[in-house]
A = this chain, B = another copy of it.
Amino acid sequence: MKQTELKVQGMTCQHCVKAIEKNVSKLDGVTEVAVNLANAQVDVSFDEHKTDEAAIRAAIVEEGYEVLN
């Protein structure tokens, strides 16, 4: 199991939080998604044998947000 902490730009409201949670959660191997709107941070726990950080980043970008780190 791995964890990644991503700084995400463009999240403005709870709809944004839900959109990211939903799109990242549907990746096979993702076990937890915690979005902190105030800190612009998305913490994701995942099984590195099933997915990787690139896929997680892509799922966020796909929703229209930028990953800063």
Contacts and interface: CB of A to CB of B under 8 A. Distances in A.
Interface string A9-21: 0101111100100
Interface residues of A, number: 8
Contacts of A19: 15
Nearest to A63: B15
Stoichiometry, copies per complex: 2
A41 B10 CA distance: 21
A42 to B, nearest CB: 16
A13 B14 CA distance: 10
Interface in A1-36: 10, 12-16, 19
A52 B13 CA distance: 29
A49 B29 CA distance: 53
